[in-house]
Structure 1
């Protein structure tokens, strides 16, 4: 949980180590949420920076996450933080 200087909750980040002990070991962001009233204040960027610092402390060499294609705000944040697309899932709705 992320808190501001007054101890008020501003958001949450769920981070874990994945594939421990394998050649594909990495850190994974399962969830990152900034409370609606605190969005646009840089908290998402701070949460990502904290996740990166923790991942480095764990000895990880990469940090990964999923984001929905239609979430333009999050995609801009992640791109500006240095993330690059590594896979794309596409969907087509079928009638009937």
Structure 2
């Protein structure tokens, strides 16, 4: 939970980062609830007695009907950025997904989070959809 605040970075200006962080906290807490519809896991990386990385993954049904794995959160401590830790966590989640028998992994990140987008593209992920959002209190 100490790394959840990292998930509020790179958001569009109309998105409340506190709300994103709270939603991520609740999502992660849900992985520890035994009544889940689909299997899920949380993997953490430790270094020098502290948690320095986390990734959560579960299975869900894609809109086409096939099962896929979905990464809900992936965060690393700032001092471990660009050390390969994020890539190792991503690989761990992918290995877990293969063990579940799914052949596709998806995730979402903010369009304005260019750092995350470059990271995922470098790991072989491709953009699948574009989501449009409009703040209704803003003039056109």
Match of 1:42 in 2: 84
Say whether 1:95 aligns with 2:107: no
Structure number with the higher helix fraction is 2
- TM-score under structure 1 normalisation? 0.85
Say whether 1:17 aligns with 2:67: no
Say whether 1:2 aligns with 2:45: yes
How far did 1:24 drift? 1.8
Runs of 4 or more off by more than 6 Å in structure 1? none
Q: CA RMSD in A?
A: 2.2
Q: Deviations over 1:35-74 (max 9, x none)?
A: 1121121111111111111111111110000010111111
- TM-score under structure 2 normalisation? 0.60
Say whether 1:52 aligns with 2:89: no
Aligned length: 94
Using the alignment, how far apart are the partners of 1:9 and 1:36 within structure 2?
Answer: 12
Between 38-47 and 60-69, report the one with greater CA deviation: 38-47
